[in-house]
Chain A
């Protein structure tokens, strides 16, 4: 069955909502990059645990959670509205 035609251009509010969804999709990718970054640190420098590592990971973690918390209400608000899936 043919999908209902979707408008090609959107008003400001739905446009922002779509970009918010894009951002929400991007977030885990960014998170993955940040969490895999330590793999690129020089391995021989890692003979034992450094407190800086711990701080780095928890910092990244906190930032990801904060950004997700900022996104969540907007994503939820747009759900079930005009352009459900894209």
Chain B
């Protein structure tokens, strides 16, 4: 294998990537990105999780610690298959609030605090530097593998210069495609597509090597299984704490690592892609690790003693004479390293420029804030420099550390560093009570503990921390030893650091949050983030300020570019119904503008820039309270409306009822009139007829006497009818004069029975009474009550159709009322008529019509109503039954 060939292949590959990225950028500008922004590309771009550490290091890891390397992939698997919990919310927030990096997310959540942005940025840079160094180291190592085998005598460049070349090349590539423009949403289509291509190359390369090892060397799956069982693969012993801790750590890392956040949240085009990635990304991880164990086992078997297991992926095919395969594997490793470095440096550069450089620039050149210099240029230049700086730092770390440490160790330390963001992140997404101070305390505490227990000791005793500190603890305090903080010695260093840093971090975060009071912007942002699925929160973030629209436009142009800014302002002006490019600085417009700006320079900077122009610091607590009370008012008002509506419904119902009653009354009145005419007409007709006969004369005297009697009878009937009517009208009007006094019930019944005897005196009628029960006095109008009794008894005498008619009168006293039942043994009143009998002119049959006009029971009912009692029909007594209820002591009504 010629070294020159390798370099040439490498260059060709890079040129190919350049072309891909370039083409995609071109297409992106013309808006044709249909298939390029598919879930597939999204999933593949997520694969930057698998860096050179995976590609080379996993085999070494497996050779050293058995299956433990799997934990690094189990964590992300669990996070992704559980995407409904967390990732969905994260991506939604990222899209809705145009988040540009994880530092931006944290700073934006906690009231757009730039201090937090700076802290997260610093942690990210410090934690990522060794990781970038790791990638450089892997590329250098892989070059080295080929160089030592180069038969053509070309002297390969030494490790240091290789690293410099690689770092410089990566910087150029990243700057070219990562800082082409300040995209509104900080997306880099070209790079993402290039990453996706590299993801395919990685996978194909590793699977190819694996397939070669399994079927080419070992001779089948069964063989491999036997060899795994036979291999002395390092007495792998599951350490429960470490196993669980690593799964947790990798789960956290996949969320918090700047590069993962970049591809997962910032570059996300469509939330739907996440659903696909939820299983496709774990599947990718599984395929990547499928052949790690076979390669490790066969490598340990075949390779000479002392060979670096980290390089088995390359050295195994080479030693078997498979030059092409080794080349593919080399490109796979190269891809892993480069893609990670590119995305990581873009993510870090975004953070550095948005949270450190631009705020500084704005502070030290405040005069320039309103004027014409192009801030876009400054931002882009800051990013380019930051990319260079990040790679330089990585190279520097590589150079200083000498590329000695085993790959996996540095990776885990970097994971743990970024994991310190977790409490602030999770708290920010799910707990509205988390505050800026809490987040700061947590981050600083976690970072300090991480640095002391994990990062600084990784340089070895005597480098960053002296041997004394390792042995006796910081300041000679034994409970401050890096590997056994507070005397905990049972855990291995990584689990130890993981445990203490995150526990203390979360503790500081919670206590800080509980004890402090968040500012208004912070509370607004907290509510907006935590309730992101419930629609936008109500209050505007800007009070109406005094900003000059022109100054705003100038500023927007400096960041978004002239064309974009002008069209943004024009749209806003048109929405406000204005011509031209200068809309009123309404709160809504300021919100929109801030959202657009924060897509380019981050929430904190955008916020700061606008408030510089608006003059006054956004919302105050009073504004928040005003909004809250406003909505309370609205709710109260709607409750009032509801009550009023219910009242209206009730009134309408009452009105309808009254109307129905009136209609009924009108019908009743008509019926009454026609009835009364009829009743009056019948006796009148006979009176007229007989009086006519009488006036003709020539009649025998007995005839005259007979006709005279008839006329007299009819006249009496008329009088009685009119009396009844009068009586009824008096009773109905309630104007009747009651003559209250004490009277014996027994006496009243006696009177009534005697009086009623006149009705059908020819019939024998048996009356059953229980005299002792009747012996009490009632304070009432005795005459009226007797009238009711007479009426009921006469009715019984009149209508009872039994052969031997009987009447039973029962008297009871209940609760201050007397109840008198009149029950006969006739066949009673049919059910359908029971309701009718108390109506005026109601008569059941004409057969027994005995002089009554059908007013009797109607009068009874009215009398009883006037006496404060009632008369009702008593069904089910084996005959017609009536119950009269009357109060024992009737008091005079107030009137």
A interface residues, Cβ below 8 angstroms from B = 1-3, 21, 24-25, 27-29, 31-32, 35-36, 38-39, 41, 43, 46-51, 53-55, 57-58, 61-62, 64-69, 71-73, 75-76, 79, 84-85
Q: Evaluate contact between A68 and B238: CB separation under 8 angstroms.
A: no
Residues of A within 8 A of B80 (CB): 68
Q: Evaluate contact between A49 and B231: CB separation under 8 angstroms.
A: yes
Instruction: Tell me, yes or no, whether B237 is within 8 Å of chain A by CB.
Output: yes
Q: Evaluate contact between A76 and B275: CB separation under 8 angstroms.
A: yes
Q: A49-B231, A49-B236, A85-B534 given as contacts; is B78 within 8 A of A36 (CB)?
A: no
In the bound assembly, the distance between CA atoms of A68 and B280 in angstroms comes to: 9
Q: List residues 255-284 of chain B with CB under 8 A from any CB of chain A.
A: 271-272, 275-276, 278-280, 282-283
Instruction: Tell me, yes or no, whether B846 is within 8 Å of chain A by CB.
Output: no
Q: List residues 59-88 of chain B with CB under 8 A from any CB of chain A.
A: 66-67, 70, 74, 77-85
A-B contact pairs, 27 of them (CB 8 A): A1-B537, A1-B631, A21-B84, A24-B82, A24-B83, A28-B79, A28-B81, A31-B77, A32-B247, A35-B74, A35-B247, A39-B238, A47-B237, A48-B236, A49-B67, A49-B228, A50-B228, A53-B67, A57-B67, A65-B286, A67-B81, A68-B80, A72-B276, A75-B84, A76-B272, A79-B272, A85-B534
* CB closest residue in chain A, given B284: A65
CB distance from B401 to the nearest CB of A (A): 31
* CB closest residue in chain A, given B296: A49
Residues of A within 8 A of B280 (CB): 69
Query: Which one, B85, B238, B628, contacts A28 given CB within 8 A?
Result: B85
Query: Which one, B81, B243, B275, B538, contacts A39 given CB within 8 A?
Result: B243
CB distance from A71 to the nearest CB of B (A): 8
Q: A39-B244, A57-B67 given as contacts; is B238 within 8 A of A65 (CB)?
A: no
CB distance from B892 to the nearest CB of A (A): 56
* CB closest residue in chain B, given A50: B229
Q: Evaluate contact between B229 and A64: CB separation under 8 angstroms.
A: no
Query: Which one, A41, A48, A65, A73, contacts B282 given CB within 8 A?
Result: A65
CB distance from A46 to the nearest CB of B (A): 5
Q: List residues 497-543 of chain B with CB under 8 A from any CB of chain A.
A: 533-534, 537-538
B interface residues, Cβ below 8 angstroms from A = 66-67, 70, 74, 77-85, 224-226, 228-229, 231-238, 240, 243-244, 247, 271-272, 275-276, 278-280, 282-283, 286, 290, 293, 533-534, 537-538, 628, 631, 635
Question: A46, A47, A49 — which one has the most chain B CB atoms within 10 A of its CB?
Answer: A49
* CB closest residue in chain B, given A86: B533
Q: Evaluate contact between A27 and B247: CB separation under 8 angstroms.
A: no
A-B contact count, CB below 8 Å? Answer: 120
Q: A31-B77, A47-B235 given as contacts; is B240 within 8 A of A39 (CB)?
A: yes
CB distance from A82 to the nearest CB of B (A): 13
CB distance from A15 to the nearest CB of B (A): 17
In the bound assembly, the distance between CA atoms of A85 and B92 in angstroms comes to: 13
Residues of A within 8 A of B240 (CB): 39
Q: Evaluate contact between A51 and B228: CB separation under 8 angstroms.
A: yes
In the bound assembly, the distance between CA atoms of A64 and B76 in angstroms comes to: 12
CB distance from A73 to the nearest CB of B (A): 7
In the bound assembly, the distance between CA atoms of A41 and B239 in angstroms comes to: 11
Residues of A within 8 A of B77 (CB): 31, 61, 64-65
Query: Which one, A24, A46, A61, contacts B236 given CB within 8 A?
Result: A46
In the bound assembly, the distance between CA atoms of A76 and B91 in angstroms comes to: 14
Residues of A within 8 A of B635 (CB): 2
Q: Evaluate contact between B229 and A51: CB separation under 8 angstroms.
A: yes
In the bound assembly, the distance between CA atoms of A1 and B537 in angstroms comes to: 9
Q: Evaluate contact between B279 and A24: CB separation under 8 angstroms.
A: no
Query: Which one, B229, B244, B278, contacts A68 given CB within 8 A?
Result: B278
Q: A25-B82, A57-B67 given as contacts; is B279 within 8 A of A65 (CB)?
A: yes
Starting from the known contacts A25-B84, A38-B238, A69-B283, 13 additional A-B residue pairs (CB-CB under 8 Å) come to A3-B534, A25-B85, A28-B78, A35-B74, A46-B235, A46-B238, A48-B233, A48-B236, A49-B234, A50-B228, A51-B226, A54-B293, A71-B278
CB distance from A30 to the nearest CB of B (A): 9
Residues of B within 8 A of A73 (CB): 275
In the bound assembly, the distance between CA atoms of A25 and B78 in angstroms comes to: 11
Residues of B within 8 A of A41 (CB): 238
Residues of A within 8 A of B238 (CB): 38-39, 41, 43, 46
Q: A72-B276, A79-B271 given as contacts; is B237 within 8 A of A36 (CB)?
A: no
In the bound assembly, the distance between CA atoms of A32 and B78 in angstroms comes to: 7
Residues of A within 8 A of B236 (CB): 46, 48-49
Q: Which 9 A-B pairs have the closest CB atoms?
A: A28-B82, A68-B279, A76-B275, A85-B533, A69-B279, A68-B81, A51-B225, A51-B228, A49-B233
Residues of B within 8 A of A53 (CB): 67
Residues of B within 8 A of A84 (CB): 533-534
* CB closest residue in chain B, given A47: B235
Question: A31, A41, A46, A51 — which one has the most chain B CB atoms within 10 A of its CB?
Answer: A51
Residues of B within 8 A of A79 (CB): 271-272, 275
In the bound assembly, the distance between CA atoms of A1 and B530 in angstroms comes to: 13
CB distance from A45 to the nearest CB of B (A): 10
Q: Evaluate contact between A64 and B282: CB separation under 8 angstroms.
A: yes
Residues of B within 8 A of A75 (CB): 84, 275
Residues of B within 8 A of A71 (CB): 278
In the bound assembly, the distance between CA atoms of A64 and B81 in angstroms comes to: 8
In the bound assembly, the distance between CA atoms of A35 and B67 in angstroms comes to: 12
CB distance from A33 to the nearest CB of B (A): 11
In the bound assembly, the distance between CA atoms of A32 and B283 in angstroms comes to: 17
In the bound assembly, the distance between CA atoms of A58 and B292 in angstroms comes to: 12
CB distance from B857 to the nearest CB of A (A): 54
Q: Evaluate contact between B237 and A46: CB separation under 8 angstroms.
A: yes
* CB closest residue in chain A, given B537: A1
In the bound assembly, the distance between CA atoms of A72 and B237 in angstroms comes to: 36
In the bound assembly, the distance between CA atoms of A55 and B276 in angstroms comes to: 26
CB distance from A34 to the nearest CB of B (A): 10
Residues of B within 8 A of A49 (CB): 66-67, 228-229, 231, 233-234, 236, 293
CB distance from A6 to the nearest CB of B (A): 11
CB distance from A72 to the nearest CB of B (A): 4
Residues of B within 8 A of A32 (CB): 78, 247
In the bound assembly, the distance between CA atoms of A71 and B85 in angstroms comes to: 14
In the bound assembly, the distance between CA atoms of A12 and B745 in angstroms comes to: 71
CB distance from B126 to the nearest CB of A (A): 30
* CB closest residue in chain A, given B229: A51
Q: Evaluate contact between A72 and B67: CB separation under 8 angstroms.
A: no
Residues of B within 8 A of A62 (CB): 286
In the bound assembly, the distance between CA atoms of A38 and B243 in angstroms comes to: 10
Q: Evaluate contact between A57 and B228: CB separation under 8 angstroms.
A: no
Q: Evaluate contact between B275 and A72: CB separation under 8 angstroms.
A: yes
Residues of B within 8 A of A51 (CB): 224-226, 228-229
Residues of B within 8 A of A39 (CB): 238, 240, 243-244
Residues of A within 8 A of B272 (CB): 76, 79
In the bound assembly, the distance between CA atoms of A47 and B229 in angstroms comes to: 11
Residues of B within 8 A of A65 (CB): 77, 81, 279, 282-283, 286
* CB closest residue in chain A, given B85: A25
Q: Evaluate contact between A48 and B235: CB separation under 8 angstroms.
A: yes
In the bound assembly, the distance between CA atoms of A49 and B231 in angstroms comes to: 8
In the bound assembly, the distance between CA atoms of A47 and B232 in angstroms comes to: 9
Q: A25-B82, A39-B238, A58-B286 given as contacts; is B279 within 8 A of A72 (CB)?
A: yes
Query: Which one, B224, B290, B534, contacts A58 given CB within 8 A?
Result: B290
Q: Evaluate contact between A61 and B286: CB separation under 8 angstroms.
A: yes
In the bound assembly, the distance between CA atoms of A32 and B74 in angstroms comes to: 9
Residues of A within 8 A of B628 (CB): 1
CB distance from A84 to the nearest CB of B (A): 5
In the bound assembly, the distance between CA atoms of A19 and B67 in angstroms comes to: 35
Residues of A within 8 A of B244 (CB): 36, 39
In the bound assembly, the distance between CA atoms of A76 and B628 in angstroms comes to: 34
